[in-house]
Structure formats: C-alpha cells, structure tokens
Amino acid sequence: MLTLLFDGIAYGMLLFVLAVGLAVTLGLMNFINLAHGAFAMAGGYVTVLLMNRLGVPFLVCLPIAFFATAAVGALLERTLYRPMYAKPHLDQVLFSIGLVFMAVTTVDYVVGSMQQNIRLPGWLQGRFAIEWVGIGKYRLFIIVVCGLLTVALQWVLSRTRFGSRLRASVDDPRVAGGLGLDVNRIFLLTFAVGSGLAGLGGALGAEVLGLDPTFPLKFMIYFLIVVSVGGTTTITGPLLAALLLGIADVAGKYYVPKLGAFIVYSLMIVILMLRPQGLFARASGK
Amino acid sequence: MTVVLETRGLVKRFGGIAATNDVSLKVEKGARHALIGPNGAGKTTLINLLTGVLEPTAGTVALDGADITRLAAHRRARRGLVRTFQINQLFGELTPLQSLALTVSVHLGRSAGWWRPLGADPRVAEACEALLTRFRLDEVMNQKVALLAYGKRRLLEIATALACEPRVLLLDEPVAGVPEGERQEIFESINALPADVSVLLIEHDMDLVFNFARSVTVLVNGAVFAEGDVQAIANDPRVKAVYLGEQDHG
Amino acid sequence: MSRPDVAASLRADARWRPWEIALFVVLALSWFFLPGQSLLLAEIAIVALFALSLDLILGYAGIVSLGHAAFFGFGAYGAALFAKHVMPDPLIGMAFAVAISAALGAATSVLILRGTDLTRLMVTLGVASILYELANKLEDLTGGADGLQGVVMAPLLGRFEFDIAGRTAYAYALVVLVVCTLIARRIVHSPFGISLQALRDNRLRATSIGLNVPARLVAVYTIAAAIAGAAGALLAQTTGFASLDVFDFHRSAEVLLILVIGGTGYLYGGIFGAIVFKLLHDLISAWTPQYWNFWLGLFLVVLVLVGRERLIRPHTWWRRGSGGALPAAAEGPGVPR
C-alpha cells in the first residue's frame, strides 16, 4: 500500500510540474488555455526524437525539452495568444481547442500515431525495496526532480524581484502596469516558463504516462482538475491538488479498476461543488 | 412614524477588517435620508448588506418589521427593497425597452411566462411608456444598451430601479460621473419620487444632499459617526472635520 | 411619444420575419425536393437540433459548457435501450429519452450555478466524462466499446417504416427539429427568455430586480438537456445504433463550433451552422480524409482571432479593428464577462 502511495506521489508531482504553467497562466492572464497539454506533448516528442534518432543521453534531453518548449511558448504567446487575453472565455476555449487539434494532427502526420517509447538509462531502471515500500528508481528520480523544481519555483516567487513582480501582476495587472511594471514582458516570460515546464513534464512523463498524439486530449482534464481544484492564486494549491489527484487515481485504478477514472471525475465534481473557487484558493482570489 | 427599514448591530468583516462596524440604522416611511461619509467609509458595503448581496458577519436587517437577514437578495427586491448601483449595472445586449419591460414584468408577477411574448400584457407597455417618457429614454428605447451614451445609461439605471415599484429605494451615488448639464434631469426624477417611497441616498454631492435630504447619517470607518436632521449635520463641526481630515479617527 | 410606439416595438420583437418563414418553408420543401439526400439531411437535422439546445444555454443564458454531449448521449442510449428492452415504438421511446435527459439536466444543473467559467467548464466536462466511463464499463448494458447494436424500430405512428433511403428518418427528424425550434422561439421571446439574456448580461442586476437566477438557470438547463436528449434519441432511432462517441469530448467540441459558426443567441445559428459545417466537412474530408481535424483546428483559431461576430457579417471582413465586438463598455468590476 505504501508503494501505491509512493507511486501516487510520483504521479502527482509529475502532474504538478505539467500543470503549474496552466495555473499561473490562468491566474495571471485569466486565460483558459486548453492547449497546454500540447506543450507537454512537444517536450515528450522532442526527447523521444533526440534520444532515439540522435542518441542524445536522457539527462541532456531534459533541459533541451524545457528550453525548446519554452521557446515555442514564447513565440506563440507573442504572436497568437496575446490578442486573445481580452477576449471572452468562450473564444479562448475555442481558440485553444483549435490549437490542440492542429497540434495533435500535425504530430500524427509527422511522426505517426503509435506510442513512443523511451529507453531509460540503466541507472534509472528497476526498483529497490526499503521495508515494505517498493521504490521504482525512475519514480524516485521524478519525485526528486519535480521536488527540486517546486522548491525553485517557490523560491523564485517569494524571493526574487521577478517573483514579486509576477505576484503583483497576478493580483492586479492594471495597477501593476500603472506602477511601471512591464506586464507584457512578465506575461511572456511566465508563459514561456510555464510551457517549458510542461515540456519538461512531458519528457519526464513519457515513460510513465505514455506518449502518443492523443496525449493533450487524454490528459487535458487532469491538468484542468489540478488547476480548478488547486486554485490559481498559490503554488501550493495546485501542488496539493496534483498530489491528491495522483494518489486518488493510482489508488482508484488499483483497488477499483472497474470504475477507472470515474472516481477522479466524481471527486472533482464534489470538490468544485463545495468550493467553486478551488479547494486551496484564497477566498479573494479569482 | 413607521420604520420601514431597520438594521441592528450590523457587522461585516473581511478578514480582520470590519468594513461595517456595529451599524444600527432606522429609515422611516417616506424618509429622505442621506448616507454620507469619506471614501472608504463603507457606504456601498452597507447597501450591499441591506440588499442581500453580502451576508453580514453579525447583526440583523428588518423590512417592515420582518427579519430579512437571511432572505435571498431577489426576494428582498420583490418585497420592494430596490437599489441603484454606483457603477451602472445594466443589461448590455438588451434595449432600454426590453430591460424596463422585463423589470415591470417581474413586479407584475409575469416574468416566468414562457409562451406569450414579453409585453403581451398591456400593463407592461403602459408602465414602460411612462418610464421611458419620464426619463427621456423614449428616443433610444430600441437601441442596444451597450451602445448608449453614459448619461442615458445612468438614467436607465435609475429608471430600472423605479420600474420595480420600490417601497424602499437605495440610491448609490446616482449622479456619479454624470456631467453637470445632465445632473438636473436626475435630480428632478429623484425629487419627483412619490412621498410614500422611502429613500436612502448615498451621495458626495453636498448640494444634492442638502436640497433633497431631511435627515442624514454620517458613516466613518464603517461605523455611524453622527446622525440627525440635515441642518444639524450641516452645522456639526465634527462632521466638517471628518471630511477635511483635521481630526484623527483611527 | 404616442402609445402605439412602445407596444408596437414590443410586438415587433416577436414578430415573424420574412426570412424566418422562408427558412421553415425551405426546410419543409427539402423533404420533397431532395429525396436522394435524406440520410445526409437527417444527420444535419439531428446536429442542428443538438446545436439549438446548446444555443439556449450558451447563446441565451451564457453558460459555457464543454460537456453538452452528456445529454445527447444519455438520450441516445436511453432511446436505444428502451427500444431494445421495453418497446420499439419510436415516439414513446422519444418521450422516454426526453424525460430522462431532462431529469439528468435538472440533477446536474446544480453544478453550473456557482463558480467561474472555468469551474463550469470543468464540471460539464466531468459529467460527460463520467457518463462516457459508465457507458464504457457497464458493458452488459451498453455494449461497452462496441456500442449498442441491433436497435430495430417499429414503424413511426404505426404506419411509416424506417426505410433504407432514410425518407422516414428525415421526415421524423425534421418534424422534431421544427417543433422544438417553434417551442424554443416562443420561449426566447417570452419574459422568461428575456430574463435569461438579462442574467447572462448582468447576473447581479438580474438579482437586484427580483429575478431568481438559480431557479431560471435550472429551468433552462433542464429544457436544453431535454432537447439535446431528443437529438440523441433521433440519432439512435434513425441509425439503429448507439456508441460511446455520443459522449465523447469531440462531440461536445463540435456542437460548440457548429453553434459558433452559425452564430449564437438568435436561435437559428444551430441550423445554419449545421448546414455549413456538414458541407465544409464533406468538402474537406474528400480532399484530406485523415487530417480533417487539422483544418478544423485551423479554422477555429482563425475564426477566433478574426472575431466571431465578423463571420456572420461578411461586410466587416475587410475592416480593421476589433471586429464589431462590444465597445469598451467595461465600466468597472461589476461588468461580467
């Protein structure tokens, strides 16, 4: 059972890294970006291609996935997303659905629709046991990497100037702009980093979650659950929501496989009914 | 004098801050009562508490002697407790005629009808015509509200409240943002309110206050600072000081 | 102003426009003049009905739903199961499907009352996903991933067999579409219908004039669910088949797009959107069958960037600017999105 908990935590941490960009984008730009999963997919495919075609080592692929996806994110933000911020939510939804469809079919066309496999480096394969807990090395690696990223994010947000500018812009973009903060640049950087993290998450998750062109659609609902349950005003909110979701999903699929994702969806609905602004959001948040 | 609207010990806290601090207020039938105070004194919060937009942390609100503290906002409106908003709250995609016709229908109890068209009831057309003419909206009655000029929208804001046939009318800065030349229209329509309608007016424009109000409550930092008839308040040196900021009221 | 003006204006809102009458005439005549296309036309009619139901909650009440297929699918499976296990009469089956879809709508309407747009998106998506999972797992009942097959319908009204060419099917679908559109038309011009637009435009003000917003949302959501269920039932009854994709996200996304193409909030957007969409689909699929979704996605992106309102106003296509959207009417924090 503890092994399940461990696996659930790994899954949850991964979901967090994947979804945190979406949470910040929503909190900052009030933009519902359903295409967020496409960035994750991009990171995964970049990694797969680099490893399988060019033989690039796994650990090197990870930062490449981050930066490549961040660059794409920055480009898209500047060109396509920026005019969308002021539009109503319906338009944003339609827009991002359109992007997802395009991304999914493009990948299908270029790479094909089969599942992609990554051969993990030897030292990440296998498991070892501590007491009753079976620890997969790769899952441990995921927890460590994601944990470090979370700490880094929290540090950036609370200790750096960029962090406080970001928090100010989330609280009130108009006032922030009026104070002289370059809100556009903050949006751009934030979106890029958020997309980059999604890409990194996709690279990390390729082995655990499976990678094929339907990835963005399959996991979209999970990212959205993390964001809507976790709220968009803190980092810890989505983190806790992701952990909860990860553990619930892993446990649910093990104990009651017949019901599958049913448990997760129902749980989400119940939570949103009780607290529409998210389980962990500040009351005054968006 | 019958009391139509009363609050007892009304408190509203946001986190650690009391936006409304132990307010006990009485509005009599036919009153012309002004609520004044410096910015941030909690006047709009009080209106929100009275109308049910906000739930109080403590205290009670009573309308015609009946406790309405837990009553839903829309029910209060149906009982005749109606307000206008400081920032226009209108139905952007509807026309003034549709907005008023809908409001009138609600108060005739015909707003749940789903088969016959809006305005099938001749009383609706009558009431709308009266309001549109009175507020000089008849020329723009079929234009989309979102496209109207600000002055017209403000008039519609007030006309909509009157379409509810209020017994107690809460006006939140009715002339806010209205250019000088157009204020007169609004003053007149407020002055022309029937005598048995009780009016609570939030205003900064002192001319309006002293010309219209018979009694005044002064709110500072969410609490009642002074209360009395308009002459007494006008001459009260403490009230003047609060506005000019000479005295410290932390 | 003399009295007739106000009353006349109120009447004018609800009066039949010439093009509306023309549309209904064309719809009726289509059964006679396009006999070879009956199956295709039946498909279009069903989708148009589905889109009409979405227009009621999206265009008129302002609820953004990504899971409207929940009711479509519920009606489809309901009608199919009813025909298989109870009785194959199409009209009684339709009544059953409408009733249970309405019940589902009423039950789930509590979920859309509170929260932000995102919350509503999530819960509507969640409900549709749950139903998908249920249909998937309850294999003994629904046939699981293979779908529910072999649904044989009795003749309509006891006389009209469902023929292979689809003439009965189209007549059936067309009549249901027309009846529902007429009912919806009365609803949107009524005080109830106007109140929906009011609560969409400004929920706070709607409450302040005495409207019970939650009750009205429950009512419109239930009605929309009933109509969507009717559309689903039509699909199951005319094709003899119900499969998991009736609950799929693609279906919810597609109906949203169809409505947006046709235009929201004037009742006929579903019909026009369905026609245009089907034509586009057939055109593009003939050319590139596998990657239809790509062009669909591209279309969506361009549509939104250019401005949705412009689509139904071709004369604005060459004008720069924000595309005829509302002028900056935002006066303060109270203005809803």
**C213 and C163 share one domain:** yes
Per-residue confidence band for B61, with pLDDT thresholds at 50, 70 and 90? very high
Q: What is the pLDDT of residue C234?
A: 95
Whether the predicted pLDDT of B196 surpasses 70: yes
Q: Is B211 contained in some domain?
A: yes
C102 and C244 both lie in a single domain: yes
Residue range C135-166, pLDDT digits in tens: 988 888 888 888 888 888 888 887 888 888 88
What is the reported pLDDT for C170? Answer: 92
Q: Is residue C115 part of a domain?
A: yes
Query: How many distinct structural domains can be found in chain B?
Result: 1
Q: Is C28 among the domain residues? A: no
What integer pLDDT is reported at residue A236 of this predicted model?
Answer: 84
Q: Which two tokens stand for residue C335?
A: 């203005």
Which band of pLDDT confidence, cut at 50, 70 and 90, is reported for residue B245? low
Least confident of A34-38, A180-184, B57-61: A180-184
Per-residue b or e along B127-137, where b marks 16 or more CB atoms closer than 10 Å to that residue's CB: bbbbbbebbeb
In chain B, residues with a C-beta closer than 8 Å to the C-beta of C11 are 117, 119
Above 70 in pLDDT, residue C312? no
Among candidates C122, C133, C291 on the partner chain, residue whose Cβ is nearest the Cβ of A268 = C122
**Residue C136 sits in the same domain as residue C210:** yes
Is B105 part of the contact surface with chain C (CB cutoff 8 Å)?
yes
Q: What is the architecture of the domain spanning A2-274?
A: Orthogonal Bundle (1.10)
> What pLDDT sits at residue B101?
94
State whether C212 and C311 are in the same domain. Answer: no
pLDDT for B5 equals 92
The CA distances from residue A58 to A52, A120, A141, A193, in Å, are 10, 7, 12, 21
pLDDT at C1 exceeding the cut of 60: no
Tell whether C248 and C169 lie within a shared domain: yes
**C297 contact residues in A (CB cutoff 8 A):** 97-103, 105
Q: Residue B69 has what pLDDT? A: 93
User: What is the spatial distance between Cα A50 and Cα A56, in angstroms, rounded to a whole number?
Assistant: 6
Q: Which of A253, A265, A284 has the highest number of chain C CBs within 10 A, making it the mutation to test binding with C?
A: A265
Tell me, what CATH number does B136's domain have? 3.40.50.300
Determine which of B127-141, B149-163, C2-16 has the lowest per-residue pLDDT on average. Answer: C2-16
**Which pLDDT value is given to residue C94?**
95
Q: Is residue B250 part of a domain?
A: no
- pLDDT, mean of residues C55-67: 92
For residue C108, pLDDT beyond 80: yes
Q: Considering only CB atoms, which chain A residues are within 8 Å of C299? A: 98
Whole domain around residue C303: which residue ranges?
Answer: 288-325
Point out the least confidently predicted range of A113-117, B59-63, C56-60, C168-172. A113-117
User: Subunits touching C (CB < 8 Å, at least 3 pairs)?
Assistant: A, B
B248 has a chain C CB within 8 A of its CB: no
In this structure, is residue C304 part of a structural domain? yes
Q: What is the dihedral of CA C129, C132, C136, C140, to 10 degrees?
A: 130
pLDDT at C324 over 80: no
Domain count, chain C: 2
Kindly state the average pLDDT of the residues C308-317: 58
For chain A, the structural domain boundaries read 2-274
Q: What is the pLDDT of residue A284?
A: 41
Smallest CA–CA distance, residue A12 to chain C, in Å, is 19
Residue-wise pLDDT for A156-211, tens only, equals: 888 888 788 877 777 777 787 788 778 788 888 889 988 999 999 988 888 888 88
Q: Which tops the pLDDT comparison, C300 or C180?
A: C180
Percentage of chain C lying above the pLDDT 70 cut: 90
Across B89-118, average pLDDT: 92
Average pLDDT of chain B to the nearest whole number: 88
Q: Give percent above pLDDT 90 in chain A.
A: 12
Q: Which two tokens stand for residue B63?
A: 């309308």
The whole-angstrom distance between C337's CA and the closest CA on chain A is 6
Whether residue C3 is predicted with pLDDT greater than 80 in this model: the reply is no
More confident residue, C109 or B190: C109
Residue C97 shares a structural domain with residue C246: yes
pTM of the model: 0.87
Note whether residue C17 is domain-resident.
no
pLDDT computed for residue B184 by the predictor: 81
Q: How many CB atoms lie within 10 A of CB B225?
A: 19
pLDDT digits (tens, 9 = 90+) for C223-253: 999 999 999 999 999 998 899 999 988 899 8
On the CB side of B240, CA atoms within 13 Å amount to 6
C-alpha span between B97 and B128 (Å, rounded): 7
Handedness of CA A223, A226, A231, A236 (dihedral sign): negative
* Residue C7: inside a domain: no
- Across residues C51-58, what is the average pLDDT? 96
Mean pLDDT of the A246-255 span? 84
Residue B249 located in a structural domain:
no
In a domain, B225, yes or no: yes
The 10s digit of each residue's pLDDT in A61-85 is 888 889 999 999 999 988 888 888 8
Residue C309 has pLDDT above 70, yes or no: no
